[in-house]
Chains A and B, each alone.
Chain A
Amino acid sequence: MQYWNPTYECMHREEMTRVQTARLIDTVKRVYHNVPYYREKMQKAGIEPGDINSLEDLKKLPFTYKQDLRDTYPYGLFAAPLSEIVRIHASSGTTGKQTVVGYTRKDIDTWAEVAARTLVSAGADRNSFIQVAYGYGLFTGGLGIHYGAERLGASVIPISGGNTKRQIQIMKDFGTTVLACTPSYALYMAEEMEEMGIKKEDLKLKAGVFGAEPWSENMRKEIEERFGILAIDIYGLSEVIGPGVATECPCKCGLHIQEDHFIPEIIDPVTEEVLPEGSKGELVFTTVTKEGLPLLRYRTRDISSLTYEKCECGRTSVRMSKVSGRSDDMLIIRGVNVFPSQVESVLLEFGETAPHYLMIVDRIDNLDVLEIWVEVNQAMFSDQVKRIEDVENKIRKAIEVTLGINAKVKLVEPKTIERNEGKAKRVIDKRKI
């Protein structure tokens, strides 16, 4: 099986434009009438649904930012009544609050559809045994791939993350043929496998779909080598739907965007001007089939470029290049989105002004580690060791709760952290991806 849905994946450009235009018009009407936040935004810009009649009119619409989701937390941007929302997911917000997304039954169906396309591009079919080692829970990774795999008719092993020795044993015993997890976790598993004395020949693994964090061609080669598989890059974000937004095909020359559902644009992150095909800039998506949380021109902050050339695989869907960076300061640590401002909001709870801090990210034995240096200020300091250790523990726990990952907290002396004129340098990323 080469394509899950050739009708859309190999559609002629004119036909695709017609499909997208009709869906865009419907979506704009839907958000204008159901979402007060969007209606106000559009009215302020002097736009009505009647003004949107073609894809060229997309530029008339206002952008949507992560901040908008924060300002309407939790359900303010939903375009369907809550009784029709059958699933809620969340991902990291820029401060303590999460970014909340909601799905109607039809949205879950759409999601399974695009996730199935992702799996089929990696060569999966109904006979596959798909081990889903992305986290299950509020994060969209696990359940997203799960529903795609079930839609495909494959046998799903919903193992989620962690317990690596067991993962590997199961991979061997259950005959996993497709692995879904973050690329760094795959490398971590490869190490563990070696220690357990299990060779790639002992496994039935054929392919893997890896995403949720940036990874290099070198990492891909290593994964393919150590597991003896085809390793595919996949892309998604919860705001747009979750995993399934775009996927590489065996050509490995860009990720096909499921553009019958998500219309992409590339903009200049500073001027917000739309850039021509081939230019590098920030990826923006307009969802045209979602009912629960349709988004107009959502700024992803991911840097990429687009090409409309037909791919060797036969798919005509627009391709995005592998994400090469961010236009904001977000980090991805162990597959989790982390914003330095989250750390700041935690530290603000420990005094009137937030103490100075520095985040040091590194990758040791293929696992991302985060250490946060916090300068001791007068408010925090006490003559008693246990009081200081208490503060250290409280900070560490609060960070774990807010960020969703654990970090080592190191208290350092005042003025240890370099001061800068202008914006403080809050992150040192030692990882060489």
Chain B
Amino acid sequence: MLVKQISVFLENKSGRLAEVTKVLADNNINISALSIADTTDFGILRIIVNNPDKAEKVLKDNDFAVSSTEVIAIAVPDQPGGLEKALRVLNEESIGIEYMYAFVGKTEDEALVILRIEALEEAADKLVKNGVKVLSADNVYKL
């Protein structure tokens, strides 16, 4: 139920992001979702890929500072209110979200949302119990 997300440290310099994508491309790794948290001096690139372990290894081999983090991927109806329902569940259970980002999946009527939450297992349980579709890791890697 928990998905492995890869985080990469990037300086605020041009070409760094392109370098990351090149390394992944050269190693036949596909990116499904991506987000960048930025500050004045640096950014953290977060990616969901089809082979996180391989991605972690090749990026490290190419001298990037990399870490992997567990996140939850949920699928919500791609329509107004789709996301709101899932967030309401978390709110009612007093579960705080550290960060999140969304992407459109291959299915026509679903949007996929990546969530980083402190108490991941508990959150995943609560979401499932309330009828929110939580994707398995394999499903996400196959996207």
Residues of chain A having any CB pair with chain B under 8 Å: 376-378, 380-385, 388-389, 392, 410-416
- Chain A residue numbers with a CB within 8 Å of B66 are 378, 381
Q: Across the interface, do B44 and A413 meet the contact criterion of CB distance under 8 Å? A: no
Since A381-B65, A383-B67, A388-B42 are in contact, a sample of 17 more A-B pairs with Cβ atoms closer than 8 Å, ordered by chain A residue number, is A376-B65, A378-B65, A378-B66, A381-B7, A381-B9, A381-B66, A383-B116, A384-B98, A385-B37, A385-B39, A385-B44, A392-B41, A411-B41, A412-B11, A413-B11, A413-B65, A416-B11
Q: Can you list 25 A-B contacts (CB < 8 A)?
A: A376-B9, A376-B65, A378-B67, A381-B66, A382-B67, A383-B5, A383-B7, A383-B44, A383-B46, A383-B69, A383-B116, A384-B44, A384-B98, A385-B39, A388-B9, A388-B42, A388-B44, A392-B41, A411-B9, A411-B11, A411-B41, A411-B42, A413-B11, A413-B65, A415-B63
Q: B64 contacts which of A385, A389, A413 (Cβ < 8 Å)? A: A413
- Chain A residue numbers with a CB within 8 Å of B16 are 413
Q: Mark B35-50, 1 if CB is under 8 A from A, else 0.
A: 0010101101010000
Prevailing SS type, chain B contact patch: strand
Q: Write the nearest CB–CB distance from A381 to chain B, whole angstroms.
A: 4
- Chain B residue numbers with a CB within 8 Å of A380 are 65
B37 nearest in chain A by CB position: A385
Q: Write the nearest CB–CB distance from A376 to chain B, whole angstroms.
A: 4
Q: How far is the CA of A273 from the CA of B98 in the complex (A)?
A: 65
Q: How far is the CA of A412 from the CA of B63 in the complex (A)?
A: 12
Which of A377, A382, A383 lies at the interface centre, i.e. has the most chain B CB atoms within 10 A of its CB?
A383
Q: Write the nearest CB–CB distance from A396 to chain B, whole angstroms.
A: 12
Answer whether residue B127 sits at the interface, using C-beta atoms and an 8 A cutoff. Answer: no
Q: Across the interface, do A414 and B44 meet the contact criterion of CB distance under 8 Å? A: no
Which of A377, A392, A414 lies at the interface centre, i.e. has the most chain B CB atoms within 10 A of its CB?
A414
B98 nearest in chain A by CB position: A384
- Chain A residue numbers with a CB within 8 Å of B72 are none
- Chain A residue numbers with a CB within 8 Å of B10 are 413
Q: Write the nearest CB–CB distance from A235 to chain B, whole angstroms.
A: 39
Q: How far is the CA of A416 from the CA of B11 in the complex (A)?
A: 10
Q: Across the interface, do B67 and A381 meet the contact criterion of CB distance under 8 Å? A: yes
Q: How far is the CA of A43 from the CA of B66 in the complex (A)?
A: 57
B116 nearest in chain A by CB position: A383
- Chain A residue numbers with a CB within 8 Å of B46 are 383
Q: Across the interface, do A413 and B67 meet the contact criterion of CB distance under 8 Å? A: no
CB contacts under 8 Å to A, within B15-60, are 16, 37, 39, 41-42, 44, 46
- Chain B residue numbers with a CB within 8 Å of A392 are 41
Q: How far is the CA of A14 from the CA of B66 in the complex (A)?
A: 72
Q: How far is the CA of A53 from the CA of B116 in the complex (A)?
A: 79
Q: How far is the CA of A221 from the CA of B1 in the complex (A)?
A: 73
- Chain B residue numbers with a CB within 8 Å of A389 are 39
A375 nearest in chain B by CB position: B65
- Chain B residue numbers with a CB within 8 Å of A414 are 63-65
Which of B65, B67, B69 lies at the interface centre, i.e. has the most chain A CB atoms within 10 A of its CB?
B65
Q: Write the nearest CB–CB distance from B13 to chain A, whole angstroms.
A: 8
Q: How far is the CA of A415 from the CA of B9 in the complex (A)?
A: 13
B69 nearest in chain A by CB position: A383
Q: Across the interface, do A377 and B41 meet the contact criterion of CB distance under 8 Å? A: no
A-B pairs, top 10 by smallest CB distance, nearest first, are: A383-B7, A415-B63, A381-B65, A383-B69, A376-B65, A414-B63, A376-B9, A385-B37, A413-B11, A381-B9
A378 nearest in chain B by CB position: B65
Q: How far is the CA of A377 from the CA of B64 in the complex (A)?
A: 9
- Chain B residue numbers with a CB within 8 Å of A415 are 63
- Chain B residue numbers with a CB within 8 Å of A411 are 9, 11, 41-42
Q: Write the nearest CB–CB distance from B38 to chain A, whole angstroms.
A: 8
Q: B65 contacts which of A377, A384, A385 (Cβ < 8 Å)? A: A377
Q: Write the nearest CB–CB distance from B49 to chain A, whole angstroms.
A: 15
Q: How far is the CA of A381 from the CA of B42 in the complex (A)?
A: 12
- Chain B residue numbers with a CB within 8 Å of A381 are 7, 9, 65-67
Q: How far is the CA of A412 from the CA of B13 in the complex (A)?
A: 10
Q: How far is the CA of A383 from the CA of B42 in the complex (A)?
A: 12
- Chain B residue numbers with a CB within 8 Å of A388 are 9, 42, 44
Q: How far is the CA of A389 from the CA of B9 in the complex (A)?
A: 12
User: Known contacts A377-B65, A381-B67; is A413 also within 8 Å of B39 by CB?
Assistant: no
Q: Across the interface, do B67 and A410 meet the contact criterion of CB distance under 8 Å? A: no
Q: Across the interface, do A410 and B9 meet the contact criterion of CB distance under 8 Å? A: no
- Chain A residue numbers with a CB within 8 Å of B44 are 383-385, 388
Q: How far is the CA of A411 from the CA of B10 in the complex (A)?
A: 10
Q: Write the nearest CB–CB distance from A252 to chain B, whole angstroms.
A: 45
Which of A377, A392, A412 lies at the interface centre, i.e. has the most chain B CB atoms within 10 A of its CB?
A412
CB contacts under 8 Å to A, within B114-140, are 116
Q: Mark B63-96, 1 if CB is under 8 A from A, else 0.
A: 1111101000000000000000000000000000
Q: Write the nearest CB–CB distance from A383 to chain B, whole angstroms.
A: 4
Q: Write the nearest CB–CB distance from B138 to chain A, whole angstroms.
A: 22
- Chain A residue numbers with a CB within 8 Å of B42 are 388, 411
A382 nearest in chain B by CB position: B67
Which of B5, B37, B46 lies at the interface centre, i.e. has the most chain A CB atoms within 10 A of its CB?
B37
Q: How far is the CA of A289 from the CA of B46 in the complex (A)?
A: 67
A411 nearest in chain B by CB position: B42
